[in-house]
Structure 1
Amino acid sequence: MNTPIERKTLTAAQRRVLLATPAGWIACGLGSGLAPVAQGTFGSLAAILPWLLLRELPLPFYLLAIVLGFALGVWACERAGRALGVDDHRALVWDEFVGQWIALLPALLAPWWAVLAGFALFRLFDVWKPWPIRVFDRRLHGGLGVMVDDVAAGFCAAILLWFLLRAL
């Protein structure tokens, strides 16, 4: 299913295939992954909208939402990837949703600027992919592979954000 060269944008036929199923809608971040450029950034920005609701939950329910979102993402990204014929297309951004929610854990009880910092740190780790994120990105495939590297990027961003908030 891996392709050496992958299109950055979806063709009209690929969009139709992706949007024909609930898994496709979920995997493309309810449409945010259909942006013509910077799909991951648009997915991460879109993830902040449901986060505004999730942050009101008690912490155990917030964490449960992350776990359920991860499981849903593995399923949806696996199905959508198969439908597109690739392991991980840029339009599949549900992983950004879950990774962003993890990155924003320290921002739950922090000033508003912590959300901006969490967003920026998550994007940094997601794009840069330092070790061990890069290892997950290269070795895992399918729905699990789509999700795990962004979860790792979210944890790295959350840890750095937590230290930043403690230092200030």
Structure 2
Amino acid sequence: MNAYMTNGTFDFLKKLRDDHPAIDFYYMSGDSSTLVYYEASSKSIFSAGRSYEAIIKNGDLQDSGFVVMNNIPVTEEGTAVFEDRFKQRQQNVDSMPGFQAFRLLKPKKGNTYVVLTQWASEDDFENWKNSDQFKKAHKDGGTKPPAYFADRPFITSYRMINLDD
């Protein structure tokens, strides 16, 4: 399964739904722009966007909620180790109250993976961050990043926009 996303103004991006009614778009509002995301087995419809392979998919994305994207640049040599670590690790994130969806997105170009989680609310995400499960899943995450990180990871967060409201 492929995943695609692009950023832009809300007014421009909301026209995509009219132009492509067969695609389930997910609209998200961030600090400085709107992001639209969708999953498909076909080619991207975006002329300027980012393409990924969804290598781990858990849960169903919802039209409402809070989304956190952990953007992790990974060295070429480290991709297998990084992916294997996610496949082996039981984070128990899906059993947390408010959990909606998880995606591990491998970039088609570049080296920045996206770990996407969707929560019913920002409070649910904060509760996950303060949980024992989170501490266990991130116990190796000391002050020094793993050798397979090409650069420092960064987090972006969004609130879902339901166009039908």
**Same-fold status (TM-score > 0.5):** no
Q: Which structure is higher in helix share?
A: 1
Which of structures 1 and 2 has the larger relative contact order (alpha carbons within 8 angstroms, sep 6+)?
A: 2
Using the size of structure 1 for normalisation, the TM-score is: 0.28
Q: Which structure is higher in strand share?
A: 2
Using the size of structure 2 for normalisation, the TM-score is: 0.28
